[in-house]
Each structure stands twice: as C-alpha cells, then as structure tokens.
Structure 1
Amino acid sequence: MNLRSISWLLVGGYLLVVGLWHPALAPVSLAAAGLGAVIAAIPGYVLALAAVAAWLKYRPAPVAPAGA
C-alpha cells in the first residue's frame, strides 16, 4: 500500500467514526433517559424497601472464625 491509499483509509475511518458515533449512541441515551423516567416515577421509600429486601435475600453468609 502506498501513502495515498493509507491516507484515504484514515480519512474514511475518521469520517466513519465521527459521522456515525452520535447516531449509534442515540438509542443508548434514549434508553437511559427512559430508565431514569421509570425510576423517577417510583417513590423513594419503595426503592429503599426493595433495596433492603434484595440485601436480606442475597446478604453474605457469616464467616466462621479461623479457629473453629
């Protein structure tokens, strides 16, 4: 490959990354905004109760002492 081919490939790669980055990221940001709206609609005490229930269900088992 000569220098001209490499430069055209680099320009094409740059345009591809710069031109397609924002449209490719749009669904992710929209999903995050939707998730934020759903979480904002749930009262805080319900989220806190759900967090406590999840912690109680999946809490770590007590560790036995080393001498036992």
Structure 2
Amino acid sequence: MIRIFAWPLVAAYLLVVGLWPAAAAPVTLAFTGLGVVLAAIPGPALLLAAVITWFRHRGTQPATT
C-alpha cells in the first residue's frame, strides 16, 4: 500500500528538483541583466529621468473653490 503513494511522491520530487533550476534560470538572468543596465547608468542621470517622468505624468491638481 505504501508503494502506491511513494512512487508518485518520488516522481514529483524528482520533477521539482530537476526542473526548478532550469525554470528559474531565465528569471535570474533577466534580473542580472537589469542590474547590469542600472549599474551602467550613472545615479544622477537616473534621478533626473525619474524627476522628469514624475513632472510629466503627475496630472493636474483639482480645482478648489
């Protein structure tokens, strides 16, 4: 009886252990690439771009009467 439950658990364990690193690799590489791009741009340039974007997209202030 225990063999009926053990074999599917062993199969699921091997699938998870075997496939998880391969499935997580593209995500890890994408975050590494994002970090490289952000590290290549100087901090003041990123801050200036953020301020410009914020001023352009902040919207209009509601009228107070």
Percent of aligned positions with the same letter in both sequences?
54
Aligned-CA RMSD value: 1.8
In the superposition, the TM-score normalised over structure 2's length comes to 0.79
In the superposition, the TM-score normalised over structure 1's length comes to 0.76
Runs of 4+ in 1 over 6 A off after TM superposition: none
Deviations 1:11-68 (A, max 9, x none): 1111101111011111111111111001100011110011101111221543455xx4
1:59 matches 2:55:
no
Q: How many residues get paired?
A: 65
Tell me what 2:33 maps to. 34
Tell me what 2:14 maps to. 15
Distance 1:6 1:63 in 2: 64
Unaligned stretches of 5+ residues in structure 2: none
